[in-house]
Structures are given as C-alpha cells and as structure tokens.
Structure 1
Amino acid sequence: MLTHLSIKNYALIDDLNVSFTKGFTTITGETGAGKSILLGGLSLVLGKRADLSSLKKKEEKCIIEASFEIARYNLGSFFETHDLDYENQSILRREILPSGKSRAFINDTPVTLDILSGLGERLVDVHSQHQTLRLTENDFQMKVIDALAENAQHLENYSSKLKVHQSILRELNELLDFQTNADKELDYNSFLFKELESAPLQPGIRETLETEYEQLNNVETILEQLSSTYQLLNAEQVGILNSVAQLQQATQKLTGFGKQFEQLNERVQSIAIEIVDIASELEVQQETVEANPMRLEEVNNQLQLLHNLFKKHQVASVEELLIIREDLELKVDASVNIESRIREKQNTVSESEAALNAIAKEIGERRNAIIPKLKSLLQEKLAALGMASATFKIAITPSENFKPNGKDELTFLFSANKGSTYGELKKVASGGELSRIMLTIKSILAEYEHLPTLMFDEIDTGVSGEISNKMGEIMQEMSSNMQVFSITHLPQVASKGVYQFKVFKEEGDASTTTHMKRLSQEERVSELAEMLGGKSLSSSAIAHARELLESNS
C-alpha cells in the first residue's frame, strides 16, 4: 500500500508531500492542472526511464520518494534474491541529476533500474490507456483465466520442468551436432591417437634416449677411454693401484707415532678402497659396453619420431604430447560411444516430455473448467456497465508445442451487440468498451489474486454519468480489501472515494507550480459542484454534490 509520496523538482512540481491511506482515493483537477505529472512522478519511482526534461530547475536534481507498507505482499524472497534490507515499511527513491544520470534506491541501498522496476510492478498497477491495450494480448487474457483457475502452483511447476526440458534438449542437440562433426573427424583423430599411442611417450624418455644414443654412437671412443683408464690403474710397477699400495704401507708405519698419523692413514685407506672400486667398475664397463648398430638405429628412429611429433603438433615436450594424446583418446571414445549417449539422452527427453505433457494437460483442463464461470462473470458485470448484450466466446485448444504457459491456444472473441459478428477485442471493441472490460476483469481478479495498489488513470473517460456511477461503485467495492486510486473527471466517480485529492496549478511571477491537497468535506462539496456545473457553483450543483457525497458516506 502506498502511504507517502514526495516529489521535488519534477516538471511543474517544486516540492510535493502527500500521505495516503487504505481504501478508495479519488484524484481530481482541471485539465492541465498536472494530474498526469503526478502519475509521471510516481512512474519514475516505480522504475520508468527518465531524461533531463523531467527537471523543473535544470541545475538541481529531482528526487522522488514513495513509501509502501508491504507486509501483505510476500516480497521477502525478492529482497533476499537482490540482497536488500527488508522492511515492512519500505522506501523507493529515484534521483535524476542535472548531468542526466539517474540513481535508484530501495531502503537506501543503490539498485539498478531493472530491480526498481521489478519491485515497482509488484507494488502498484497503473491502469492507463497503454495497459488497456494489454487486454487485447493473448498472454494477458490467459493470465486472467489462470488466475481464476488457480493455476499458479501448476504453472510454477510447469515452468520449472520446462527449463529442465529445454536444457536437456540443448544437450541432445549438442550431441547430435557433435556426432555430425565427429563422424567426419573420427578417422583422422583415430590415426593421430594411434600414432601417439605407439610412440615411446613417458616423462623423461627424450633425455634417456638422447643419452643412450650418444653412448651407442660413440662406443669405440668410450671403450678406448675405459681401456686407457684401466691401464693407468693396473700397469705393473707404475700403475696407480701399485702406488696406492705403497702409500698404504708407508702411512701404516706412521700410525704408532701419533693420533694425527692415524687420521692420515685412515684417509689413505679410504682413497685406496675407492680406487680399487673404480678399477673394478672400469673392468665391468669394458665387458659391458659393446657396439650395437641395431639398437643405435632403433634409438635414432625413436628420437626422430619424437622430433616429428613435436613438429607436427607444434609442441616442445613429451608432456605436451601426452596431454594431446589424452584429449584425442577422449574424442575418439566420445565418437565411438556417441550413439549410445544420444539414445540415453533421447530417453531422458522422452521422460521429461511426458512429465511436461501431464502438467500441461492438467493446466488445460483447469482452464477449460473455469471458462464458463469467467464468461458469466464478465457478461454479468458488463451488463451493469451498460453493455447488456456483450458476450464472449472463449475456447482453449491443445497445441503441439510447449509454450511458456503450457500447451494451449486461446481464442478470446467478443461481441458487443446482439447479432454482431464475434471478433478479437483489438478489432471489434471500442476504447470505451475496452476500458469497461478491463475494469471488470480487474474487479474479478481482485477476488482471486492479492493485487497490488491499483491506480486507474481516467478509466471512465467517454462514459455516461450512470455508467460512470457504476464504475465508481466497482472501484469502491474493490477497495474493501486493497488500495485503489482513480484519477477522474467525473463527479460520480470522485464522490465514491473515502478521500479526495485535488491537483491544481498556481501561477507566480516567473513560473507555474503544481500542487496537490486532500480536500475537507466542504471542499469536496465545492469541487464536486464545480465538476457538475462549472465555476459558478449554483445552488442546485451544490445540492447535487452534497447528495452524491451523502449517498456514499
């Protein structure tokens, strides 16, 4: 419920502050007084886009604030989703800066215009000429039927499963696309994989092969150096082993002359042991190392294969080739097993489709069941609004395709007069008829849905006094469980309000300013009398105005 509205520096408004209560409130004023400005300001704080032309004083910012009592609206999840502080009394604020930039806030937290608009449409339903045209749209008509059929939970379930179904379909299509491309690439990928699989690929293999190649390729040099080294160690009389033996004997004789000589002897003994071990290893190596042309060729071929693979795949290491091999293995495996995966996904699609069809069928049956009641309510209420011959043809037929709101096609036809041809609302209904139909639908919806604050903007334009009186009664009835506003030129409607506000202009020396005030009982009499008979305020007009107010008190 809208409890307070503050508008500063907007259009013809300098500084406007007004409070509202529950029930039915009417807003009146002369043409051009600024009622549309008031509505425009409210629309801005509800998320409508703005520009610099909105500023009254171009060098100052425009600020619009609206306070709402939202405890009844079940908006906790909205605030949680957008990480906003929830308050039963919440404040929406919009600022338009002289630079042209716009800022939006919910309970002092900065938000995007989309978030502000998302909350705004849950708080106030502004019924203007534009929204009347929505009545002619198939989606809106279906929403009315669903509201009466109490399909909300079913539609939520359907929407959730539809998203899953569409996701599964995308996955199936991706598999089918993959299969088309995979079939073309399977032979090539298989060749590449087998080539890498047959190659000696393991971490460090390149370095191992290069070392082995160097040894095999230089076997004669290695044997020559081994032999020469062995001779240095084992030559008679002058060999290193013979000299070391003599060294051992000399240091052994010194051990009895002091600890330092014992340590020296131990070091010599260690050297002797190491040299003997080296001599043994050299002897083993001489016996082990031999020329192996076949192995040399094999190692050379493996190195050449690695080099070719590096060049082919544009990499520099075996580790990178291993990654490519793993990727190719996955591609080949996916290509080989794609048909079974497609069959599994098709089965999942079929199961999902069956579940969706079951829910869509339930939704359609509930829609069909409520249509007679909707037609009856529409025709009964429209008869009271001077459209006694208005009739509807409403039919639900199954569709082949899944839609956002089910699998139904809606035919919503209207005839205003007996014997007239039925046709779509946008083709056969006049503006006045559309307004009355929309008001009727809103009054019906109010019985089935918890609607937000309703703001009717001159919905009674172009209707007679008696019909406008009935329209006022309908709005008055709706306000028993919700807040309703009506901007009107008709005294019959204005008098129905629990409260009445007047929008008026004042002209100063240099500017014109729009104001809005809540009228007292006597001020309402004068305002209604002026609406009935002009500014002369005749006694009959005043009497009629009092009569209107008293009949609604």
Structure 2
Amino acid sequence: MLTSLSIKNYALIDSLQVNFNQGLTIITGETGAGKSILLGGLSLILGKRADLSALKKGDEKCIIEAVFDVTNYQLESLFQQLDFDYESQTIIRREILPSGKSRAFVNDSPVNLSGLQTLGNHLIDIHSQHETMQLVDDDFQFRVIDALAKNENCLERYKRALVQHKSLQKAYDALLNFQSEALKEQDYNTFLLNELQDAHLKTGELEELEEQYETLNNLEEIKQTFESADYLLNDEQIGAIGNLTQLKNNLQRLSKYASKYDDLFNRVNSSIIELNDIFDEINTLQDHLDLDTSQIEGIGNRIDLLSNLLKKHHVETITDLIEIRNGLSKKVLAAENIDADMANKEQEVQSSLEVLNTISQEIHDNRKLAIPRLSEELEKILNQLGMPNAQFNIQLILSDNFHSNGKDNLQFQFKANKGGNFNDLKKAASGGELSRIMLAIKLILSNYVQLPSIVFDEIDSGVSGEISNKMGDIMLQMSNTMQVFTITHLPQIAAKGHTHFKVYKEDVDQITQTSLNKLDFDARIVEIAQMLGGEKISNSAIAHAKQLLN
C-alpha cells in the first residue's frame, strides 16, 4: 500500500507531503483544482516518462517520492528478477532536472524506467475513464476469466511449453532449410572433399617439397661448393686445419714461457675443434647429396597440385586446407544423416505439440467452468448498480492456433436491456455502463487475486443518486482487502471514505499553487455540503451531509 507521497516543484505544486492509510481514501476538489496534477505526479512514480514542462520553477529540479509497504505483496522474486534492492518499506523517487534529464531510484539505487513500470504495475492501478476501455480488450478479458479460473499455474506451464515448442519448431525449420541447401551442394561438396582427401595433405609438406626442389635444381653447384670447402679445410699444403694445427703446436711450445701464450694456444685449439666439426658436417651433407634428379619432376608436380589447391580455396597454408577438408567432411556427413536428424527433431516437435494441446485444453476447461460464475456475479453486481436487465454472453472457442495465453478465441458480448440483442461490449455499452461494469469486475477480481492499491479517477462519471451510493458501497467493500483511492464529485461516494482529502488552489505571493488538505469530521461536513448544494451552504445541505457521513 501507498503510505506516503512527497511532491516538490511539480506543475502547480510547490511542496506537498501527505501520509495515507489503509481503507477507502476520498479525494475531492473543484474542477481545475489540481486532482489530475496529483495523479500525474503519482504516474511518474510508476514509470511514466517525464516532461520538462512539469517543472514549476524551471531552474530547480522536481522531486517526487513515494513510500510503499510491500510486506504482504510477495514481491521478493520480482525485485530479484528486476535486480532491485528489496525492502518491505520500498521508497521510489523520481527526479526531473532543469536540463530535462530524468532519474529514477528504488530504495536509493538508480533504476531504468522499464523496470520501474514493471514494478509499478504491482503497486498501484490507476483507473481512469481511459482505462475503462480495457474492458473491450481481449487480453484484459482473458485476465479476468483466468483469475476466476485459477489458471495462473497452467498459464505459466503453457508459456514455458510454448517457448520450448517454438524453439524446437525453429530448429526443425532450420533443418529443412539445411536439407534443401545441402541437396543442392551435396555433389559439389563431395567432389571438393574427395579432391582434398586424395591429396593426402600433411602440415608443412609444401615447405619441405620446395626446399627439396631447390636442392635438386642446384645440385651441381652445391657439390662443387662442398668439394671446394673440403680442399680449403683439409689440403695437406694449404688446408686451414693443417695450418692451424701447426700454429697450435708452435704456441704450445711458447706456453711454458708465459701464461699469455697459453691463452693464445687455447683459442687456436678451439678454432681447430670448430673447423673439424664443420669439416665433418660438410662430409655428412656430401654423403646425403646422392639424390635422384629424376625425382624433380614428381616433386614439381606435387608442388603444383598443392599450390593450385591453395589458390582454389583462397588460403595460404596446408593447415588451412586441412581445416576446409574437415569442414567439408562434416557437411557431407550431416547431409547424409539429415533424414535421421529430421525424423528425431520432428518427433520432438510433435511431442511438444502434444504437451501444448494438453495444457491448452486444461486452460480451456478451467475457463469454461469460470465463465458462468463470472457472468452471474457481474449481473448480480450490475443489478445493484441500476442495470437490472444487464446480461453477458461470453463465448469461448477453442481454435487451431496457439496464442500467448492458450488456444481460445473469446467473444465477450453484452446487452443492457430486455428484448435487445447481444453485441460486442464496445458497441453495446455506454460510457457510464462501461464504468459500472469495470467497477464490478474490479470488485470480483479483489475476491480472487491480491490486487495492488487502486485509484478510481471519476469512475462514477455519468451516475448519480442511489446508483452512486451503491458504487460507494462497492468501493468500501473492496477497501476491506486493499487500499482504495477514489477521486469523485459525488457526495454519496465521498461520505463513504475512511479518510478524506481536499485538493484546492490558492494564491501565495501572487502565484497560484495546488495544495492538499486532510479533512477532519467537521471539515468533511462542510465539503460534502458544498458538493450537495454549492458554495452557499444551506442548513438542509449541512443536515444532509451529516446524514450521509453517519
């Protein structure tokens, strides 16, 4: 329930702070006094988009704050879903800055408007003449029937099953498309795969082949270079190894004279060791040069094959070709197994369809049982509200299509008078009748589900006398289980409230501003007397006001 509301610098409101109680709260005031401003501020709390023109003083920010006691609303899971901080005394604040930017906070943590709107739907239902048109909306009509049918769990199961079915159907359709494309590409993919498989690809092979090709192409030059190196290193007359060996022996004789000669000896000796190692490696390489030059053609052909495959598939390395081969292998295999996959997926789709149909039938049966009870209760309440001949003809037709809330199509027909014909509610009921029907529905719903606090904004428009008295009784009855606010011009309804506030305008320092005043018993007598007889209060109006209040 809404426990307090604070508004600063909004429209004609300079500063307003008001506390609310459980039960039926009445709000009255002359036309133009600012009741709509109060509702506008409350709407901002519930997530309505802000408008810079709402600032009373353009250079100051507007702050609207409301405190809700959500102890009995079971909203912990919703707060968790929205990633809001849960508090049993939840504070919602909106700020409109002079720059035009707007900010929203729940329990002092910033939130986005969509999340705030979702939360707001569970806190307050602002019901105006515009909202009465919800009556002719299929979704609203289904929500009413489902509340009486206790379909909440069924609908949750249905929604999960519908998501699962759509997901499976999407996967099946994707397989169908894949099958169609796969059949077109199967022969070509198989050809490409066979071509790559026949190539017996090996990572790094192309580089090795190119090296072999270069070696074979320049074999004579390589042999001559190795023979020359052998001569320069090991010839008896000029060979580097022999000459260095002679130098080493000479330095060895000098090493006994000084240590510095010993260092030279060691360096020369290291050079001889290195040159001997080089000589051995050259000999080894020479031994492996006995290559068959006739292989050069085969190697060249292999290089051409691999190079052509690289160009054909627009890649750089054999590793890339291997990846393409593996991918083609999977595609060809998938295409070969597509029939089995489709049969399995089709069975899954069919199973999900059976689950959906079972739940849909359960929802339908529950609705069929609830509809006569809804019609009976509506007609009973409307009889009290001056519509003794009102009748409803609610038809529920099980269709072949899966909707968001089942497979039913709904025809919600109404007639207000004897001898008339049933027609769609939108065409058959006047504005005043729709207001009374909506009030009746809200009363019925309050007996089956936990409704949030509700604000009736002149729902009594177009009625008077005894009917308004009955409407007041209904609102009073609803206030036994929920917090009810009603903005009214009718004294019969105003007298029913547990608490009464008056909205009024006054000029302060030549500036008009809207204020809200909680009326005590004596002030209520005066207010209701004015509602009965105008500004000039007569004794009879006072007496009538006291009678209504008592």
Tell me whether the two structures share a fold, i.e. TM-score over 0.5: yes
Displacement of 1:23 in angstroms is 0.4
Aligned residues of 1:241 and 1:276 also touching (Cα < 8 A): no
Displacement of 1:450 in angstroms is 0.3
Partner residue in 1 for 2:82: 82
Partner residue in 1 for 2:205: 205
Deviations 1:421-462 (A, max 9, x none): 111111111101111111000000000000000100111111
Aligned residues of 1:491 and 1:531 also touching (Cα < 8 A): yes
Partner residue in 1 for 2:116: 116
- The amino acid of 2:24's aligned partner reads F
Distance 1:94 1:245 in 2: 95
Displacement of 1:194 in angstroms is 3.0
Distance 2:256 2:9 in 1: 113
Partner residue in 2 for 1:2: 2
Deviations 1:291-337 (A, max 9, x none): 53442112112222232233333333333333333333333333332
Distance 1:389 1:243 in 2: 132
Displacement of 1:359 in angstroms is 1.1
Distance 1:540 1:407 in 2: 60
Aligned residues of 1:247 and 1:268 also touching (Cα < 8 A): no
Task: Calculate percent identity across the aligned residue pairs.
Answer: 52
Q: What's the TM-score, normalizing by structure 1?
A: 0.91
Distance 1:246 1:474 in 2: 123
Aligned residues of 1:200 and 1:302 also touching (Cα < 8 A): no
Return 5+ residue gaps in structure 2 as ranges.
none
Partner residue in 2 for 1:484: 484
Partner residue in 1 for 2:431: 431
Displacement of 1:418 in angstroms is 1.2
SS class of match (1:486) = strand
Displacement of 1:369 in angstroms is 1.2
SS class of match (1:532) = helix
**Equivalences for residues 25-424 of structure 1 within 5 A:** 25-199=25-199, 201-227=201-227, 238=237, 243=242, 288-424=288-424
Aligned CA distance change for structure 1 residues 258 and 318 (closer, same or farther; 3 Å): farther
Distance 1:85 1:265 in 2: 85
Distance 1:245 1:533 in 2: 135
Displacement of 1:390 in angstroms is 0.7
Aligned residues of 1:244 and 1:272 also touching (Cα < 8 A): no
Deviations 1:350-393 (A, max 9, x none): 11111111111111111111111111111111111111111111
Distance 1:301 1:227 in 2: 31
- The amino acid of 1:219's aligned partner reads L
Distance 1:307 1:502 in 2: 91
Deviations 1:204-240 (A, max 9, x none): 22221111111222233334445555566787x6596
Displacement of 1:286 in angstroms is 5.2
Distance 2:241 2:392 in 1: 125
Distance 1:12 1:430 in 2: 34
Distance 2:255 2:48 in 1: 109
Aligned residues of 2:248 and 2:269 also touching (Cα < 8 A): no
Displacement of 1:245 in angstroms is 13
Aligned residues of 2:209 and 2:303 also touching (Cα < 8 A): yes
Distance 2:541 2:384 in 1: 26
Q: What's the TM-score, normalizing by structure 2?
A: 0.91
Aligned residues of 2:124 and 2:453 also touching (Cα < 8 A): yes
Deviations 1:501-543 (A, max 9, x none): 1111113453211111111101111111111111221111111
SS class of match (1:122) = coil
Partner residue in 1 for 2:442: 442
SS class of match (2:395) = strand
- The amino acid of 2:458's aligned partner reads E
Distance 2:276 2:305 in 1: 43
Aligned CA distance change for structure 1 residues 34 and 282 (closer, same or farther; 3 Å): closer
Moved more, 301-310 or 529-538: 301-310
Distance 2:256 2:507 in 1: 129
Root-mean-square deviation (CA, aligned residues, Å) is: 2.9
SS class of match (1:193) = helix
Aligned residues of 2:241 and 2:276 also touching (Cα < 8 A): no
Distance 2:133 2:140 in 1: 10
Aligned residues of 1:254 and 1:262 also touching (Cα < 8 A): no
Distance 2:459 2:255 in 1: 128
Displacement of 1:491 in angstroms is 0.6
Distance 2:162 2:458 in 1: 40
1:528 aligns with 2:528: yes
Partner residue in 1 for 2:500: 500
Deviations 1:244-291 (A, max 9, x none): 99969979x979989999999999999989888877776666565345
Distance 1:524 1:268 in 2: 122
Aligned CA distance change for structure 1 residues 238 and 403 (closer, same or farther; 3 Å): same
Distance 2:341 2:36 in 1: 61
Aligned residues of 1:219 and 1:290 also touching (Cα < 8 A): no
Distance 1:295 1:433 in 2: 102
1:16 aligns with 2:16: yes
Deviations 1:37-74 (A, max 9, x none): 11111111111112122122222221111111011111
Aligned length: 549
Displacement of 1:82 in angstroms is 2.7
